[in-house]
Amino acid sequence: MKKINLTQIKNKQNPEINLKEMDQLANSIQDIGLKNPIKVKQTDGSYILKDGKIRLEAYQLLGKQKIPAEIEEKTTKTKNK
């Protein structure tokens, strides 16, 4: 697990966000911290969000710069010879 800059995360998820739920999560994060890191996939110089949109939004709401994340390393495709 690694802390990554929020500005490096590309969010392709677009689920509807429950603002009350996000506010409650932000308060919980502020009180006890983030229990479950977000999941991202590493790309060239940035990350694509795989899981944790509401947690990411809550961190942004709190004005945080970095968030704990589990990083799925980018894979390189190789041809069989």
Encode pLDDT of 12-52 as tens digits.
766 677 888 889 999 999 999 999 999 999 988 899 999 99
d(CA 50, CA 45): 16
CATH topology for 2-72?
3.90.1530
Cα dist from 4 to 13, 21, 42, 44, whole Å: 18, 24, 11, 14
pLDDT of 13? 67
Higher pLDDT, 54 or 1: 54
d(CA 40, CA 46): 10
Count CA atoms closer than 13 A to 28's CA, side-chain side: 12
Domain segments of the chain: what residues?
2-72
pLDDT of 67? 96
Q: Are residues 12 and 41 in contact, defined by beta-carbon separation less than 8 angstroms?
A: no
pLDDT of 41? 94
**How would residue 78 be classed by pLDDT, with cut points 50, 70 and 90?**
low
